[in-house]
Amino acid sequence: MSALQPGDREALHRVLHARRDVRSGFVDTPVDDERLQRVLAAAHTAPSVGFSQPWDFLVLRSPDIRDELAALAQEQRQEFAKSLPAARARAFAGLRVEAIREAPLGIVVTCDPTRDGRHVLGRRTQPRMAAHSVAGAVQNLWLAARAEGLGVGWVSFFDEREMAALLGRRVGMPQHLEVVAYL
Protein backbone atom coordinates (compact mmCIF):
# COMPACT_ATOMS: atom_id res chain seq x y z
CA MET A 1 0.00 0.00 0.00
CA SER A 2 1.52 3.33 -1.00
CA ALA A 3 1.33 6.50 1.09
CA LEU A 4 -0.80 9.41 -0.08
CA GLN A 5 0.93 12.27 -1.84
CA PRO A 6 1.85 15.00 0.71
CA GLY A 7 -0.89 17.40 -0.51
CA ASP A 8 -3.54 14.69 -0.21
CA ARG A 9 -2.31 13.61 3.20
CA GLU A 10 -2.45 17.18 4.44
CA ALA A 11 -5.94 17.59 3.02
CA LEU A 12 -7.07 14.49 4.89
CA HIS A 13 -5.65 15.82 8.14
CA ARG A 14 -7.24 19.23 7.54
CA VAL A 15 -10.64 17.57 7.24
CA LEU A 16 -10.06 15.47 10.37
CA HIS A 17 -9.16 18.58 12.37
CA ALA A 18 -11.86 20.78 10.86
CA ARG A 19 -14.79 18.42 11.63
CA ARG A 20 -17.01 19.80 14.37
CA ASP A 21 -20.29 18.88 15.98
CA VAL A 22 -22.57 21.57 14.54
CA ARG A 23 -25.70 22.69 16.40
CA SER A 24 -26.26 26.22 15.11
CA GLY A 25 -25.92 28.33 11.99
CA PHE A 26 -27.94 26.01 9.75
CA VAL A 27 -29.61 27.56 6.70
CA ASP A 28 -32.80 26.24 5.14
CA THR A 29 -31.28 25.78 1.68
CA PRO A 30 -32.01 22.18 0.64
CA VAL A 31 -28.98 19.87 0.43
CA ASP A 32 -28.75 18.86 -3.22
CA ASP A 33 -28.86 15.18 -4.09
CA GLU A 34 -25.39 15.05 -5.64
CA ARG A 35 -23.68 16.26 -2.48
CA LEU A 36 -25.84 14.04 -0.32
CA GLN A 37 -24.95 11.05 -2.51
CA ARG A 38 -21.23 11.75 -2.10
CA VAL A 39 -21.63 11.96 1.65
CA LEU A 40 -23.65 8.74 1.83
CA ALA A 41 -21.22 6.97 -0.52
CA ALA A 42 -18.40 7.88 1.90
CA ALA A 43 -20.39 6.34 4.74
CA HIS A 44 -20.81 3.14 2.74
CA THR A 45 -17.03 2.73 2.39
CA ALA A 46 -16.67 2.16 6.16
CA PRO A 47 -15.25 -1.11 7.43
CA SER A 48 -17.77 -3.55 8.92
CA VAL A 49 -17.73 -6.79 10.86
CA GLY A 50 -17.60 -9.71 8.42
CA PHE A 51 -18.19 -7.08 5.68
CA SER A 52 -21.85 -7.19 6.70
CA GLN A 53 -22.46 -3.43 6.14
CA PRO A 54 -25.25 -3.44 8.74
CA TRP A 55 -26.17 0.23 8.22
CA ASP A 56 -29.09 2.00 6.61
CA PHE A 57 -29.61 5.73 6.28
CA LEU A 58 -33.07 7.25 6.53
CA VAL A 59 -32.97 10.73 5.06
CA LEU A 60 -35.68 12.83 6.69
CA ARG A 61 -36.51 15.98 4.81
CA SER A 62 -40.11 16.30 6.02
CA PRO A 63 -40.38 19.08 8.63
CA ASP A 64 -43.38 17.29 10.19
CA ILE A 65 -41.46 14.19 11.17
CA ARG A 66 -38.55 16.28 12.36
CA ASP A 67 -40.95 18.33 14.51
CA GLU A 68 -42.17 15.13 16.14
CA LEU A 69 -38.61 13.95 16.72
CA ALA A 70 -37.63 17.33 18.13
CA ALA A 71 -40.53 17.05 20.60
CA LEU A 72 -39.23 13.63 21.74
CA ALA A 73 -35.72 15.06 22.19
CA GLN A 74 -37.12 18.03 24.11
CA GLU A 75 -38.89 15.69 26.57
CA GLN A 76 -35.66 13.78 27.17
CA ARG A 77 -33.76 17.02 27.58
CA GLN A 78 -36.20 18.07 30.30
CA GLU A 79 -35.90 14.71 32.03
CA PHE A 80 -32.11 14.99 31.98
CA ALA A 81 -32.27 18.58 33.32
CA LYS A 82 -34.44 17.38 36.25
CA SER A 83 -31.77 14.84 37.18
CA LEU A 84 -29.00 17.46 37.48
CA PRO A 85 -27.80 19.34 40.56
CA ALA A 86 -28.99 23.00 40.45
CA ALA A 87 -25.73 24.55 39.20
CA ARG A 88 -25.32 21.95 36.45
CA ALA A 89 -28.98 22.36 35.49
CA ARG A 90 -28.48 26.14 35.09
CA ALA A 91 -25.43 25.60 32.87
CA PHE A 92 -27.26 22.94 30.87
CA ALA A 93 -30.26 25.25 30.31
CA GLY A 94 -28.06 27.50 28.16
CA LEU A 95 -26.52 24.67 26.15
CA ARG A 96 -27.59 23.90 22.62
CA VAL A 97 -27.80 20.13 22.15
CA GLU A 98 -29.65 19.75 18.86
CA ALA A 99 -30.82 21.57 15.73
CA ILE A 100 -33.37 19.05 14.50
CA ARG A 101 -35.78 21.64 13.13
CA GLU A 102 -33.22 24.19 11.95
CA ALA A 103 -31.20 21.77 9.81
CA PRO A 104 -32.63 21.23 6.30
CA LEU A 105 -32.60 17.47 6.77
CA GLY A 106 -31.96 14.78 9.33
CA ILE A 107 -30.33 11.41 8.81
CA VAL A 108 -31.19 8.45 11.01
CA VAL A 109 -28.45 5.84 10.90
CA THR A 110 -29.56 2.36 11.87
CA CYS A 111 -27.92 -0.97 12.58
CA ASP A 112 -29.42 -4.26 11.43
CA PRO A 113 -28.11 -6.87 13.89
CA THR A 114 -29.38 -9.63 11.58
CA ARG A 115 -27.79 -8.38 8.33
CA ASP A 116 -26.40 -11.24 6.22
CA GLY A 117 -27.93 -13.93 8.41
CA ARG A 118 -26.54 -15.92 11.31
CA HIS A 119 -23.03 -16.68 10.12
CA VAL A 120 -21.33 -13.30 9.99
CA LEU A 121 -17.61 -13.57 10.75
CA GLY A 122 -16.81 -11.91 14.07
CA ARG A 123 -20.38 -10.99 15.01
CA ARG A 124 -21.22 -14.32 16.60
CA THR A 125 -18.64 -13.86 19.35
CA GLN A 126 -19.15 -10.11 19.65
CA PRO A 127 -22.64 -8.98 18.57
CA ARG A 128 -21.83 -5.36 19.46
CA MET A 129 -19.45 -5.27 16.51
CA ALA A 130 -22.41 -4.59 14.22
CA ALA A 131 -23.17 -1.30 16.02
CA HIS A 132 -19.45 -0.46 16.16
CA SER A 133 -19.34 -0.84 12.38
CA VAL A 134 -22.21 1.62 12.06
CA ALA A 135 -20.37 4.14 14.25
CA GLY A 136 -17.49 3.98 11.75
CA ALA A 137 -19.91 4.73 8.94
CA VAL A 138 -21.20 7.74 10.88
CA GLN A 139 -17.67 9.08 11.22
CA ASN A 140 -17.05 8.69 7.48
CA LEU A 141 -20.31 10.52 6.77
CA TRP A 142 -19.37 13.31 9.17
CA LEU A 143 -15.96 13.83 7.59
CA ALA A 144 -17.27 13.73 4.04
CA ALA A 145 -19.96 16.25 4.99
CA ARG A 146 -17.28 18.54 6.40
CA ALA A 147 -15.41 18.35 3.12
CA GLU A 148 -18.65 19.45 1.39
CA GLY A 149 -19.15 22.36 3.81
CA LEU A 150 -22.22 20.68 5.33
CA GLY A 151 -22.60 20.92 9.10
CA VAL A 152 -23.45 17.72 10.97
CA GLY A 153 -24.38 17.25 14.61
CA TRP A 154 -25.03 13.98 16.44
CA VAL A 155 -28.15 14.11 18.62
CA SER A 156 -28.45 11.47 21.29
CA PHE A 157 -31.30 12.95 23.35
CA PHE A 158 -33.69 10.19 22.35
CA ASP A 159 -35.23 7.23 24.02
CA GLU A 160 -34.34 4.69 21.33
CA ARG A 161 -37.59 2.75 21.64
CA GLU A 162 -39.73 5.89 21.38
CA MET A 163 -37.78 6.99 18.36
CA ALA A 164 -37.94 3.60 16.64
CA ALA A 165 -41.71 3.42 17.26
CA LEU A 166 -42.24 6.88 15.76
CA LEU A 167 -40.12 6.04 12.70
CA GLY A 168 -42.01 2.76 12.35
CA ARG A 169 -45.35 4.58 12.30
CA ARG A 170 -44.26 7.49 10.12
CA VAL A 171 -41.83 5.98 7.58
CA GLY A 172 -42.20 2.23 8.06
CA MET A 173 -38.82 1.68 9.66
CA PRO A 174 -38.54 -2.07 10.34
CA GLN A 175 -38.64 -2.61 14.09
CA HIS A 176 -35.71 -5.02 14.28
CA LEU A 177 -33.37 -2.16 13.32
CA GLU A 178 -31.50 -0.35 16.09
CA VAL A 179 -31.09 3.39 15.88
CA VAL A 180 -27.40 4.24 16.24
CA ALA A 181 -27.42 7.92 15.38
CA TYR A 182 -29.58 10.89 14.55
CA LEU A 183 -27.55 13.38 12.53
Positions touching ligand FMN (CB under 6 A) are 20-21, 23, 97-98, 153-157
Min dist. Cβ of residue 139 to ligand FMN (A): 8
Q: Which is nearer to ligand FMN, 26 or 154 (CB)?
A: 154
Is residue 117 left, alpha or beta, with left meaning phi > 0 and alpha meaning psi from -120 to 50?
left
Q: Which is nearer to ligand FMN, 40 or 155 (CB)?
A: 155
Judged by DSSP in three states, 176 sits in coil
Min dist. Cβ of residue 159 to ligand FMN (A): 13
Min dist. Cβ of residue 98 to ligand FMN (A): 6
Q: Which is nearer to ligand FMN, 70 or 120 (CB)?
A: 70
Of 124, 123, 144, 121, the C-alpha closest to 57 is 144
* Burial status of residue 39 (CB atoms within 10 A of its CB: 0-12, 13-18, 19 or more): buried
Q: CB–CB of 107/100 below 8 Å?
A: no
Min dist. Cβ of residue 21 to ligand FMN (A): 3
Q: Which is nearer to ligand FMN, 18 or 171 (CB)?
A: 18
